[in-house]
Amino acid sequence: MDLLQVTVWLYLLIALVAANLPWLNERVLFVLTPRGNEKPAFIRFLEWGVLYVVVVAIGLGLERLVTGTIHAQGWQFYAITLSMFAVFAMPGFIYRHDLRRHLIHRGA
């Protein structure tokens, strides 16, 4: 495996973990403890959006590191990467809003 392949796989792993973080932790912006039992859904989506921006910034930085330049992207690029980020977030979202309830109900 060459450096480029390792970089791409590492980036995809970072994106997968980042997309799921808002649904797998209870701290607001990963630092503050919420007032109620759980943080509100809009906070989770806000964190998810912030993490999308962070992941895109990391990707641009890696592109600059590997190729020496950052290529201009149109709106289509951001629409596709946002869609991929949403797909990456599905395991955490399903766990938070469906699977966790079933696991608690069964006593697991």
Give the residue ranges of DSSP H helices in 68-107: 75-88, 90-94, 100-106
> What's the CA gap between 79 and 74, in Å, rounded?
9
Residue 49 tokens read as: 């959006």
> What's the CA gap between 31 and 33, in Å, rounded?
7
Distance of CA 91 to the CA centre of its chain: 11
Q: Encode pLDDT of 28-61 as tens digits.
A: 776 766 667 777 788 889 999 999 999 999 999 9
pTM exceeds cut of 0.85? no
> What's the CA gap between 105 and 108, in Å, rounded?
8
